[in-house]
Amino acid sequence: MARDFTSASSQYLSDAASFVVNAPMSIACWFNVDNVTARHFLMSVVNDTSGKGDRFSLQARGDQANDPLEFQVFEEGLGQDLAVIDGVTAGSWSHAGGSKASAGDTNVYLNGSVGTPDTAHQAVPSGINDCHIGGINYVTFTSYADALIAEAGVWDAVLTSAEFAMLALGYSPLFIRLQSLVAYWPLLGRTSPEIDLVGARSLTLNSAPATADHPPVFYPSTSPIISPPSSGAVYVPRPAAISVSSLGVMTV
């Protein structure tokens, strides 16, 4: 199951934990927006200290021409870097991703395709201390999404185009640059708070977002291969995959 957010109810997930201070970084999630007429804050890592609005944020901009997906890198009082790709659609699952190099471009990805980068390199967010999914809520600004969201990940590295393409094919973030994956919330809708399988940073459910069908995703697993050397049995991991069907049922 995924999480289902309703903007009128101010529903979102949050976790007050400082885990990405600044670029290089990447974030990604699956999403399914209800409409392409509103602004939907899908996933953001933010500085929610009073008077600060620094953030890295994935937004589906149905309020803009051509319904773009944006990855915004915003620094309060200075400005923003904004990477854009057109073509967000309502009523079906899509994959969103964004990356920011430490002294390089800001990129956005929609279903594995890269958008127009921002090469200005002007925004340098600092003091990142929270993650918001399904909306954004801090002292100076609030906005929410009407959307289903699942499979949210944060990396402390810039993922490649090939890695974003793998995520868009349905591979779990656990397959992608695991040594750099600092947070991963499948958002299966089975627990409150929502668990982080990598960094143990649980997400608080604000205003009780509902559950919904999950997108199809492949998860890594291991199956034992048993061999009987003289010293006894040895278990050797072998790759396997678990899929979550569109009905939210796990099949092997």
pLDDT in tens, 146-204: 999 999 999 999 999 999 999 999 999 999 999 999 999 999 999 999 999 998 889 99
Supply the pLDDT for residue 25: 92
Which fold does the domain 2-211 belong to in CATH? Jelly Rolls (2.60.120)
* pLDDT of 228 over the 50 cut: no
Task: Report whether 155 contacts 177 (CB < 8 A).
Answer: yes
Per-domain residue ranges for the chain? 2-211
Q: Can you state the percent helix, strand and coil of the chain, rounding each to 5? A: 5, 50, 45
pLDDT in tens, 22-55: 789 999 999 999 999 999 999 999 887 766 788 9
pLDDT in tens, 74-132: 888 888 899 999 999 999 999 999 999 987 799 999 999 999 999 987 788 888 888 99
Q: What is the pTM of this model?
A: 0.86
Supply the pLDDT for residue 51: 63
- Give the 3-state secondary structure of 118-135: ECCCCCCCCCCCEEEECE
